[in-house]
Amino acid sequence: MVPALADWCAVDLLDGETVRRVSVAGREAGQPSIDLPWALPATSHARLARALLGAGPVLLTRFTAPGQATDAVHRRELEQFERLRADTAILASVRARGQVLGALTLVTNTPGRSLTKEDLPLVEDLAHRVGLAVDNARLYLLQKQMAQRMQLSLLPRLPDIAPLQVAARYTPARESSAVGGDWYDCFRLPDGAPALVIGDIAGHDLQAAVQMSQVRNMTRALAWDRQGPPSEIVGRLDRALDGVGEGMVATMVLARLENSATGRWRLRWTNAGHPPPLLITRAGETRFLQDGHDRILGADLTAPRPDACRALPPESTVLFYTDGLIERRTESLDRGMTRLRQQTTALSNLDIETFCDKLPTMTRPDNEDDIAVLALRLPPAH
């Protein structure tokens, strides 16, 4: 709109009972604008206040001196027109779906560029388009916030598994308003051993979130049904998912912590098509736990799944994560895994909560996928 139609333009939006100026454009640098936010008065002679209440569009060709203003808002408006050396102005309500969202103000001060009545339909249409854009942005933000709240509500509260420490974080995709299928879990098995789970359901929609909740609940139920190694539990999950018939594409790692008679902790796990856990020692050495890797969930109901077992050094960290932490469209997966090793080496001396806080922030700010991380910290040696 500037400079094609006017010399100065502003958009003011309603925010409850107050007004907030969100955008200003002018042909000249340093042009003034009203200090906002300010309260919207019930009655005011200011054209902006009337537009915010739904009046307009209106064309102004003569301007009253600020000294003749009838209220504070009117005075600020007239002072602004005076500082802009306004020749003509048009004010229009910004509307969408029958609701007034704000006001659009256009001002000219260049000879030969006066606004006329013929411009009113165009400005009204522009204000309507602004209103649709603003309303769509608000609806998108509301949808995204609701989706994120739903996703977070489906994730569990981590138990106390002292002397082990566990922490987790979930970071939604920045450019998506849909819920995702990334999830984690931690609970004690019937024999008291802690179990840790990380998983990913393909998709970014409500169905993925529902399927994620089903898989998590079934995993817990099967783990409690009878004791067995992680491979046996995930094998029964394969058959259960086949019976449910959801046709989902899902990956997961299920692990349990075992304490030996010597006080050394062992991790026993099976991997159903998921990125491998990462072991980080206190000194910053890293190693991906590649063993125990097998097909995705539900791919084959006949072949047994493998288990893997590894002794864990004291004060080491085991990181479980979803692919959003390592995958980028512009680089290979190997590069993403190398980057993760470098990042965790730099964070290895931090406490477990800070470790989990820092890790997602080291990814790109425009991450295209959800990220879930679950970190386990081993206690010092006795």
Domains of the chain, each with CATH number or no CATH: 8-145 (3.30.450.40), 155-377 (3.60.40.10)
> Residue 203: its pLDDT value, please?
67
The percent of residues above 90 in pLDDT, for the chain, comes to 52
Phi, psi of 296 (to 5 degrees): -70, 165
At 330, is the pLDDT very low, low, confident or very high (cuts 50, 70, 90)? confident
Can you tell me which residue has the tokens 């003011």?
12
**pLDDT higher at 210 or 123:** 123
* Tens-digit pLDDT profile for residues 178-190: 556 788 999 999 9
Determine the Cα–Cα distance for residues 9 and 103; give it in Å rounded to an integer. 11
Backbone angles phi, psi at 111, to 5 degrees: -55, 135
Q: Rounded to whole angstroms, how far apart are CA atoms 20 and 11?
A: 9
Tell me the residue type at 173.
A
Q: What is the pLDDT of residue 114?
A: 94
How is residue 135 written in tokens?
């309303």
Over residues 14-31, the mean pLDDT reads: 84
CA nearest neighbour of 214 among 188, 187, 198, 237: 237
Phi, psi angle pair for 108, to nearest 5°: -115, 145
How high does pLDDT run on average in the chain?
87
Structure pTM?
A: 0.66
Q: Hey, what amino acid is at 211?
A: Q
